[in-house]
Amino acid sequence: MSCGCETTSLRSEDIGRIDHRCLRTDQCATQDITHLGSCISSDCSVTDEVNARICKARAAFANLRHLWRQNGLSLNLKGRVYQATVRAVLLYGCETWPIRTADLRRLQVFDNRCLKTIAR
């Protein structure tokens, strides 16, 4: 069995199940890893993932600030752009999240604030 490149990281709970001949000294065990753009924590909490998604969606929303401020565009068009860009970034990978009420609430608050800003 061969391991990946130098960027390989292992969650600490996985170390007992791995062939130790595969481990190199430059690999380190971590509590949280990022895989395919999603934060995976050792306790299966998605709070870090929700935080990361909100930050990325906030950046996408800020990049379109000039669009939200234009009075000549219809609210319907702005909503469609928001749905296709910001909300897509916010909810990327959410189908696999074991979501808690607090995390869901934070996502809803962010979404409502963005929609309120667009409606002004």
3-state secondary structure of 37: coil
pLDDT, one tens digit per residue, over 1-47 is: 445 545 555 555 554 555 555 555 555 555 666 655 666 666 667 88
- How many domains is the chain partitioned into structurally? 1
91 lies in a domain? yes
105 lies in a domain? yes
Q: Where in the sequence is the domain holding 111, given as residue range(s)?
A: 44-119
pTM of this prediction? 0.69
User: Under 8 Å CB-to-CB from 87, ≥6 apart: which residues?
Assistant: 57, 111
51 lies in a domain? yes
User: Under 8 Å CB-to-CB from 94, ≥6 apart: which residues?
Assistant: 53
pLDDT, one tens digit per residue, over 39-86 is: 666 666 788 899 999 999 999 999 999 999 999 999 999 999 999 999
User: Under 8 Å CB-to-CB from 114, ≥6 apart: which residues?
Assistant: 57, 61, 82, 86
Alpha-carbon gap, residue 41 to 114, rounded angstroms:
28
pLDDT, one tens digit per residue, over 82-108 is: 999 999 999 998 888 888 999 999 999
111 touches 79 (CB < 8 A): no
Cα 102–34–10 angle (5° rounding)?
A: 115
104 lies in a domain? yes
